[in-house]
Chain A
């Protein structure tokens, strides 16, 4: 377990009239090397939860373990280590760019880790490749880049720290379809090549179905489910009740199944759908 929370509770504005429980007794554990999707309605506590993974927020009660260490147990060193072990990419990360060149901005994290100049350069180059930016960008000002490029430069800035866990809060928000596919496939490649754990917070069930292996469902400050993709999407009606959805393609196949076609109901991605329809047309019938 790379990340584990035990009875994690977090309250905003304690002692004021605005007190609000943002996390209520959340116990989740995340396996090393997993690709986890985090879904939930706006205000369900997703962002608050991930902010605990690298000690940005201090739990009101409960414990957070990163790599087996209780990060709030003793002195600061554990928390600083957690910051570097868990790379957090916030929503609209391009708003955090500040250096004069893209190179310096990506190098900011590694520099804070106290790495040597050589190592920093190596890391900047690899993460630049991971996000698919060309080398001409390096000497440009980050403010000259296009919206999608800025987003990628900012994500590269976190990847350059080579965190064991990469957490992304809506990395595709506000991008056009091509931009979002591009970013998500880059993250998928990063996950495959580095073997690191990835957490993806998203509102798009399609994105989650296509990328994640397991899903954490947040609802009203609590963790409602944490299971594999098929297990979670089986509970379509329950998800709908809390304002979530299942992938569109899954809906299509459930309807097809109801109409009497011999297809599986557990289809979550377009690629799977293609295969299923082809095998069905060949007369093979349902796969499962």
Chain B
């Protein structure tokens, strides 16, 4: 059933990672991503991997779920690794055996290095998604981009649009389910025929769905106006984030990781 689709990747919980200030979480993740590109040796990656293992344990998210985030990009990882095998330079693995002589030790090292970087990048950046609800995430983005308001960038409006869009995904999924069933009850067939027939069969679902999306949008706009919503100016907040000790600890840990990676870069 369509309901089984997981939307976003939020994995509810109340671990210290979940409770962290989402702004700090976002910034730390950003730093981590940059750091992965600074790393130039395997020891650096080992430090980063240790951090990820520690965060996984702390957040109580099943390791299997964490590793799942690699899946969508598995093809790209394999693709990158494969080509790196042949463009590494250094001494060949097999001497003069046809095209295999292009396979070099340096290539193997490069392939492993690039794959590790992508994997760590994926796993590290999805932690924000796993431990922060979408609404909190947009809220954090809005706050971090706050200074852009001075340049007349409609930050609040964008954040509001994002929040509303995410809020309505489950509603629309539900609606799609209902409409599909109603049309099935009228004998609509979505499962047989060639691609064109199947695409055409979607019209009885799409039209009512779009109509209902517009109806909902209008109702929501009315409801917001009734409650005197008029944009972000002068709006106060219900949830005020403040950095707590756990956030400072997180920042310190990240600083230590960064320092050790840079030290390793210089030393090796």
**Chain B associates with chain A:** yes
Closest to B204 in A: A98
For the complex, give the distance between the alpha carbons of A167 and B204 in Å: 21
Tell me the smallest distance from the CB of A46 to a CB of chain B, in Å: 15
Give every chain B residue within 8 A of A89 (Cβ-Cβ).
185
B186 within 8 A of A: yes
A158 within 8 A of B: yes
For the complex, give the distance between the alpha carbons of A88 and B186 in Å: 8
> Counting chain A CB atoms within 10 Å of each CB, which of B3, B181, B186, B204 scores highest?
B186
A211 within 8 A of B: no
Closest to B192 in A: A76
Q: Is the CB of A112 within 8 A of B181?
A: no
A87 within 8 A of B: yes
For the complex, give the distance between the alpha carbons of A95 and B215 in Å: 11
Beyond A90-B178, A90-B181, A90-B182, is A96–B187 a contact (Cβ under 8 Å)?
no
A157 within 8 A of B: yes
For the complex, give the distance between the alpha carbons of A275 and B204 in Å: 49
A72 within 8 A of B: no
**7 new A-B contacts at CB < 8 Å, known A13-B3, A108-B187:** A51-B181, A54-B185, A83-B184, A95-B211, A96-B208, A108-B204, A112-B188
B268 within 8 A of A: no
For the complex, give the distance between the alpha carbons of A93 and B183 in Å: 10
Q: Is the interface of A mostly helix, strand, loop or mixed?
A: helix
B189 within 8 A of A: yes
> Counting chain A CB atoms within 10 Å of each CB, which of B185, B188, B208, B211 scores highest?
B185
Quick one: CB contact mask for A89-118 with B, threshold 8 Å, 1 for yes? Answer: 110010111100000000011001100000
Closest to A154 in B: B182
> Counting chain B CB atoms within 10 Å of each CB, which of A84, A96, A109 scores highest?
A96
Q: Is the CB of A96 within 8 A of B179?
A: yes
Q: Is the CB of B182 within 8 A of A93?
A: yes
A124 within 8 A of B: no
Beyond A83-B187, A84-B187, is A98–B182 a contact (Cβ under 8 Å)?
no
Give every chain A residue within 8 A of B182 (Cβ-Cβ).
88, 90, 93, 95-96
Interface residues on chain A, size class: 20 to 34
For the complex, give the distance between the alpha carbons of A35 and B212 in Å: 33
Give the contacts of B146-204 with A (CB-CB under 8 A). 175, 178-179, 181-189, 203-204
Give the contacts of A67-95 with B (CB-CB under 8 A). 80, 83-84, 87-90, 93, 95
Q: Is the CB of A109 within 8 A of B181?
A: no
Tell me the smallest distance from the CB of B183 to a CB of chain A, in Å: 6
Q: Is the interface of B mostly helix, strand, loop or mixed?
A: helix
Q: Which 6 A-B pairs rank lowest in CB-CB distance, beginning with the nearest? A: A112-B187, A98-B207, A96-B182, A88-B185, A109-B186, A90-B182
For the complex, give the distance between the alpha carbons of A95 and B180 in Å: 11
Give the contacts of A102-146 with B (CB-CB under 8 A). 108-109, 112-113, 143
Q: Is the CB of A87 within 8 A of B185?
A: yes
A30 within 8 A of B: no
A56 within 8 A of B: yes
A161 within 8 A of B: yes
For the complex, give the distance between the alpha carbons of A187 and B189 in Å: 27
Tell me the smallest distance from the CB of B112 to a CB of chain A, in Å: 37
For the complex, give the distance between the alpha carbons of A143 and B203 in Å: 16
- Supply 28 A–B pairs (Cβ within 8 Å), ascending by A: A13-B3, A13-B4, A51-B181, A54-B185, A56-B184, A84-B187, A88-B185, A90-B178, A90-B181, A90-B185, A95-B179, A95-B182, A95-B212, A96-B179, A96-B182, A97-B208, A98-B203, A98-B204, A98-B208, A98-B211, A108-B188, A108-B204, A109-B186, A113-B187, A157-B186, A158-B185, A158-B186, A161-B187
For the complex, give the distance between the alpha carbons of A84 and B187 in Å: 7
Tell me the smallest distance from the CB of A173 to a CB of chain B, in Å: 14
Give every chain B residue within 8 A of A108 (Cβ-Cβ).
183, 186-188, 204
For the complex, give the distance between the alpha carbons of A80 and B203 in Å: 20
For the complex, give the distance between the alpha carbons of A100 and B64 in Å: 49
Give every chain A residue within 8 A of B3 (Cβ-Cβ).
13
Tell me the smallest distance from the CB of B168 to a CB of chain A, in Å: 16
Give the contacts of A159-183 with B (CB-CB under 8 A). 161
Give every chain A residue within 8 A of B187 (Cβ-Cβ).
80, 83-84, 108-109, 112-113, 161
Give the contacts of B3-17 with A (CB-CB under 8 A). 3-4
Give every chain A residue within 8 A of B203 (Cβ-Cβ).
98
Give every chain A residue within 8 A of B175 (Cβ-Cβ).
95
Give every chain B residue within 8 A of A98 (Cβ-Cβ).
203-204, 207-208, 211
Give every chain B residue within 8 A of A158 (Cβ-Cβ).
185-186
Q: Is the CB of A161 within 8 A of B186?
A: yes
For the complex, give the distance between the alpha carbons of A17 and B182 in Å: 28
For the complex, give the distance between the alpha carbons of A136 and B18 in Å: 60
For the complex, give the distance between the alpha carbons of A112 and B3 in Å: 26
Closest to B210 in A: A98
